[in-house]
Amino acid sequence: METCRQNFAELVTMQSEEEYQQFLSYIKLYEGVYWIGLQFNSININNTWEWVNGNPTTYSHWDVPPTGIITVGGNDPGKKCVFPFYYEGYRYIGCTTVNNNNIPWCATTTDYPKDMKWGNCPFTGIVTVGGNHPGKECVFPFSYDMQMYFKCTTINNNHIPWCAITILYWTMGIP
């Protein structure tokens, strides 16, 4: 936050859909990296997200929508994955292979640290053909251009379906 202020700027906070849309229209006009002023408050009893100005997050457009991913195996098979979930201090917005022998898994409750309920994510069966990494399994959901995708998309690819092989295509730059 201090770096922003030294450059005569502030971190963005959003409390409504209208403010979010204004932010989107602004960033489309100017190239660059933009940061929002959201921070995780682990001190309070609820472990909640809040804005850097101390306001609560009453608007959360960027949260991952509910998924239809049904788990197989794990200690809670047959349940829907719940995103985001927290594991060992990290926030996950999709299945992870951390500490599960490279097998993707997800939480099946909203409070994984307390409930410890999880299941393996099923193999999608969808594999890339061509692209930057042919033969790799598609990962769902994935994030691209500030949107979440739960299936292949044709956006920005001449009407040819494509998918990401990482959850955060936008961040990682790996299609």
Shared domain for 71 and 33, answered yes or no, is no
Q: Is residue 77 part of a domain?
A: yes
Shared domain for 168 and 147, answered yes or no, is yes
Shared domain for 154 and 169, answered yes or no, is yes
Show the tokens assigned to 21.
């849309």
Give the CATH number of the domain where residue 79 resides.
Answer: 2.10.10.10
Shared domain for 131 and 153, answered yes or no, is yes
Query: Cα separation of 67 and 85, whole Å?
Result: 13
Q: Is residue 58 part of a domain?
A: no
User: How buried is 120 (Cβ within 10 angstroms: 0-12 exposed, 13-18 middle, 19+ buried)?
Assistant: middle
Q: What dihedral do alpha carbons 83, 168, 77, 126 form, nearest 10°?
A: 140
Query: Cα separation of 144 and 141, whole Å?
Result: 10
Shared domain for 117 and 148, answered yes or no, is no
Shared domain for 131 and 148, answered yes or no, is yes
Query: Cα separation of 111 and 99, whole Å?
Result: 18
Provide the domain limits for residue 168: 123-175
> Which range (1-5, 81-85, 116-120, 157-161) has the least confidence?
1-5
Shared domain for 134 and 115, answered yes or no, is no
Tens-place pLDDT, residues 42-89: 555 555 667 777 777 776 665 544 567 788 889 998 888 888 888 988
- Mean pLDDT for 15-32 is 76
Shared domain for 137 and 161, answered yes or no, is yes
Shared domain for 136 and 107, answered yes or no, is no
> Which range (47-51, 98-102, 124-128, 139-143) has the least confidence?
47-51
Question: How many domains would you assign to the chain?
Answer: 3
Shared domain for 47 and 90, answered yes or no, is no
Q: Is residue 127 part of a domain?
A: yes
Q: Is residue 91 part of a domain?
A: yes
Phi, psi of 26 (to 5 degrees): -70, -50
Q: Is residue 93 part of a domain?
A: yes
Shared domain for 115 and 133, answered yes or no, is no
Q: Is residue 80 part of a domain?
A: yes
What pLDDT is recorded for position 54?
A: 77
Q: Is residue 59 part of a domain?
A: no
Q: Is the dihedral of CA 166, 100, 83, 51 positive or negative?
A: negative
Shared domain for 172 and 151, answered yes or no, is yes
Phi, psi of 21 (to 5 degrees): -65, -35
Q: Is residue 14 part of a domain?
A: yes
